[in-house]
Amino acid sequence: MLAASGFLTIGVFLALVLSRRVSVLFALTLVPIAAALLSGHGAGLGELAADGLVTVAPVAIMITFAVLYFSLMIDAGLFDPAVTRILRWAKGDPLKITVGTALLTLLVALDGDGASTFLITVSALLPIYQRLGMRRIVLAGVVCLGAGVMNMVPWGGPTARAMAALKLDSAQLFLPVLPAMIAGICWVLVAAYLIGRSERKRLGVVSIEVGERVRLTGADRARFWINAALTLALVGCLLFQLADLEVLFLVAFLVALLINRPSWEGQQELFAKHAYNVVLVVVVIFAAGVFTGILTGTGMIKAMAESLVAVIPDAGGALLPVVTAIAGMPLSLVFTPDAFYYGVVPVLAETSAAFGGDPAAIGRAAILGQMTTGFPLSPLTASTFILLGMSKVDIGDHQRFIFGWAFGTTLVMTAVALLTGVL
């Protein structure tokens, strides 16, 4: 009963979001609330929702100050020189911009954290896309592809969870799939080239006036270099995880505010200008907390995991790693990372062992799809809404545009993993 309720809840949610019948905010809250009431969990509904809200609160806080920080930096002109240089190099060619987006994302995503990757890349590149008239959905999609495959690094979420769930180290889990990851990176660059070629066909090589580089003097020049140093220090702290992300962004924003908007009037103007973007992203994150809190607390997610394992026939044991790899990406739209890696993967590993297989192969298969290529598409992942909120792209449009390309990344990596004998 719980499993059926869980699958029905997910199905109704996805149908409503993809069909645009209601907003994501309503779908994330009303659908699980209705499911909890119908399944007899109405008495504890408030506590379940509160537990979910507490879980996502740090993410919401971090996003609030991160959006404000980068919005302030954009207003201060920090990215203007970089935008000018890239425009001069690209000469108005959308193809070069799209491939450059993939390369920048692959580099920034080495930190293994999707949230900071989205914040940095979208902040830097969105002005360029707007200047050329390129679609924001292309920016969100290509960043999604690059960040997804780089999320496989051992300090990233999927691999770390898989190692913890199966009690394996990176030599057993990550190193064997490194060739597959390299193949995934190559696929991302190919996909970016093809998407960029489509944009070039649509727009042509746009003739733009870049203009002369503005030479700053005096206080403006000093402020620019202080902003640059502060941002580099922030990025360094993010990469080395010297503190919680929400703390880093809070402190950085306060310092940046004192440097760039010291007056009360200036600060109020900043808040008024960017309040919409902040609220739009944060309320959806809190709604996602309600969604996952209810599905987890009612036991629906656990029941769904058990029901999936129960339908696997004995003859399918040998194919379990391949099935796990291929199905992992679509399942990222249904299961949260914790639910999949701590709930589904251990059961699948035990099942594979019972059939005489290697449990580690299940862990390797899991990181080829679930929350790697899938996490920037999943409505159950808070960082997805950072990407979409900053690029101002609808989640349904985003999923329809990039799902096939993302699934292609999983298929390419799975094929290479099979050829190298690690599955």
Cα diameter, the chain: 75
231: helix, coil or strand? helix
**C-alpha dihedral over 243, 246, 248, 254, to 10 degrees?**
-150
What is the pLDDT tens value at each position of the chain, 423 positions in all? 788 888 888 888 878 876 767 887 888 899 999 999 998 888 889 999 999 898 888 878 887 888 888 888 878 888 778 767 776 777 778 999 999 899 888 887 876 667 778 888 888 888 889 888 899 999 999 999 999 898 888 777 788 778 877 878 778 888 899 999 999 999 999 999 999 999 999 988 876 665 555 566 677 888 999 999 998 898 788 767 788 878 988 999 999 999 999 999 999 999 998 888 788 778 877 888 888 889 888 988 778 777 767 776 666 667 888 888 888 888 877 777 766 776 678 777 877 877 778 888 988 999 988 766 666 777 777 778 888 888 889 888 898 899 999 999 999 999 999 999 888
Write down how long the chain is. Answer: 423
Q: What is the pTM of this model?
A: 0.70
Q: How far is CA 385 from the centre of its chain?
A: 8
Q: Say if CB 322 and CB 423 are below 8 A apart.
A: yes
Residue with tokens 């009360």: 264
Q: Measured at the alpha carbon of residue 254, what is the angle toward residues 248 and 256, in degrees to the nearest 5?
A: 95
Is there a domain that residue 310 lies in? yes
Q: Say if CB 84 and CB 122 are below 8 A apart.
A: no
Is there a domain that residue 72 lies in? yes
Q: Say if CB 405 and CB 141 are below 8 A apart.
A: yes
Separation CA 30–CA 28 (nearest Å):
6
Separation CA 158–CA 151 (nearest Å):
7
Nearest in space to 302 (alpha carbons), one of 348, 363, 344, 331: 344
Separation CA 13–CA 32 (nearest Å):
8
The secondary structure of the chain in percent helix, strand, coil, rounded to multiples of 5, reads: 80, 0, 20
Is there a domain that residue 210 lies in? no
Is there a domain that residue 278 lies in? yes
Is there a domain that residue 17 lies in? no
| Cα-Cα-Cα-Cα dihedral sign, residues 38, 39, 43, 46 | negative
* Total tally of structural domains belonging to the chain: 1
Is there a domain that residue 5 lies in? yes
Compute the half-sphere exposure of residue 104: CA atoms within 13 Å on the CB side of its CA.
22
Is there a domain that residue 96 lies in? yes
Range of the structural domain that residue 303 is part of: 1-12+23-204+216-420
